[in-house]
Amino acid sequence: MVEQDTSITLTPLGGLGEIGMNCMVLESAGSIVIIDCGLMFPSDFHYGVDVLIPRFDTLLAQKNKIKGIILTHGHEDHIGALPWLLPYLDVPVYGSEFTLALLDSKLKEHNLNKYVDLVPVSAGDQVTLNPFTFHFFPVCHSIINGYGLGIETPAGRIVHSGDFKIDPAPMDGQFTDLDAFARFSKPGVLLLLSDSTNIEREGSTLTEREIKSSLERVFKQCTGRIIITLFSSHIQRIQEIFDLAALFGRKVAVNGRSLVNNINLAKNLGYMRISSDVTCSLEDMVGLPDDKVVLLVTGSQGEPLSVLSRIASGEHRQISIHQGDLVLMSSRIIPGNTKAISRVINNLYRLGAEVLYEKVQGIHASGHAHWEELRTMLTTVQPKFFVPVHGEYRHLVKHCQLARECGVAPERAIVLDNGQPLTFFERGIRFEERIRVDSTLVDGKGVGDVGASVLKERRLLAEEGLVIVHVVLDQETGHILIGPELITKGFVFEQQYEHMLDDSKCLILDIFEFSPNLSPKKSAERIRMALRSFFRKVLDRDPVVLPLIVSV
């Protein structure tokens, strides 16, 4: 009789050592289940790139084993990469009603919604994808309908916290069900995977009721317009704003596609209650006194084309800053966006607005648990093994330190890297051979066609500029018929450096005079080397030099 394989292998494809691109793969007995599949937004050095998604080639090589996709919640860093994975799979996707509504909206943009089986699940439901059984536990987060997971596997029970915080008195019952986590964990838990984002923050997060009280004080004191920006998926906070506007006799005008879409989704699903008496269009807003207006707009991260950024730069066609306007940035600053947000804040002050944001006013509460709440999750689950997820590397290390303080054996609190599979056996664990997980860059309709070499060229173009050399030669004699002409882009102001460009032309003429029999290809290479050396010597700059030599 063949002994049944009870091992399970955990492979993170993203989300470990970084904030974003969360994607975890569970494999056992020839079956694979994917937990979340998110994207990450580009950094400053990703010139022109739209988004980053996990590398899927290893996963797709085993696509016949994939049984389904489980989603914890609807943020972009957990569902955003699915439009690039689902065209290659024919498997069901499980998630809450609101999560799947957000995903369906994304799939419609890619003309995929008709081909994907979206299966809604409710808190307390169970889904079996042999050999795994998934239990869905409600968690409090900065988006409604988020879940933590209890997973029954051949090797033992696994708990995945999802993105969570512990709010003792949440708005609209959006609570983290610690009792459900405890009941599932009572027989013993092999492994806990837990959100690590705010491990460095002591105590507990502000509650949403505290944020509403803070916002209420702002509404009470403000005598001008209130302009608010936040994450467009934060339905609870958006509801609070409409409620406060109604309380203080203001009307709300919404501007920004993602906000409008998400509000409509939430209303249609019954998650928002908005009276028509409290809403108005941008056109109607013009006729209202400033103290009767609330503007709800996109742009919490300083995105260049967002509504708030265009207002701050004076480029919005319908909205301009009035003296006495109060701008509330009710969201956290995502790492990497600090400069963009600071630019927007400074521009708003320059136009005469007052700006309140997280660092100066308690108008935002994180959706991620702080140190004390993370400790509560650990003591509730009491896992044998612990692997921190959803955080930069220092967050993972510090979360492991907390796990050891909570009783996890030091050798069983493990910091994993993306692409490092970890197998659990009945009597131990094993690190498997690493797989390649460098992210795939999406630029327009191109997926993966932008790599290190293209980014390097874009960086050179952005930092040093471009010099185009145009020369037309007589095919028979090799004599120059036209040129050399120099065209510069992003290199120098041509009128100011006209003398230097004339010297550059002399260098080019010398190449043709002293080496008249060179092929166009070799001539182009000589020109490139000569001009780059000349520009480095004269200006200490190294532009991209592109010679175009044509024989006629």
Gap between the Cα atoms of 530 and 18, Å rounded: 43
How many other CB atoms sit within 10 Å of the CB of residue 173? 9
Q: What beta strand segments (E) does 154-290 contain?
A: 156-160, 189-195, 226-229, 251-255
Gap between the Cα atoms of 403 and 397, Å rounded: 10
Nearest Cα residue to 343 out of 307, 303, 316: 303
* Both structure tokens of 281: 């269009």
Catalytic residue among 77, 195, 325, 443: 195
Q: Which amino acid is at 221?
A: Q
Nearest Cα residue to 473 out of 532, 518, 526, 435: 518
Is-contact 143 95, C-beta < 8 A?
no
For the chain, state the CA radius of gyration: 29
Annotated active-site residue 195? The verdict is yes
According to DSSP, the β-strands at 480-489 and 466-473 are antiparallel
What are the respective helix, strand and coil percentages of the chain, to the nearest 5?
Answer: 35, 25, 40
Gap between the Cα atoms of 25 and 32, Å rounded: 7
Q: Which amino acid is at 324?
A: G
Is-contact 351 314, C-beta < 8 A?
yes
Gap between the Cα atoms of 480 and 477, Å rounded: 9
* Both structure tokens of 108: 């419609």
Tokens 């300083």 belong to residue: 302
Sheet bearing 440-443, strands edge to edge: 51-53, 440-443, 446-447
Q: Tell me, what DSSP letter sits at residue 444?
A: T
Annotated active-site residue 368? The verdict is yes
Q: Tell me, what DSSP letter sits at residue 105?
A: H
Q: Tell me, what DSSP letter sits at residue 115?
A: G
Q: What beta strand segments (E) does 344-479 contain?
A: 354-357, 383-389, 391-392, 422-425, 428-431, 440-443, 446-447, 466-473
Q: What is the DSSP string of 212-232?
A: HHHHHHHHHH--S-EEEE--T
Largest CA distance in the chain: 90
Catalytic residue among 135, 160, 234, 368: 368
Enzyme catalytic residues: 195, 368
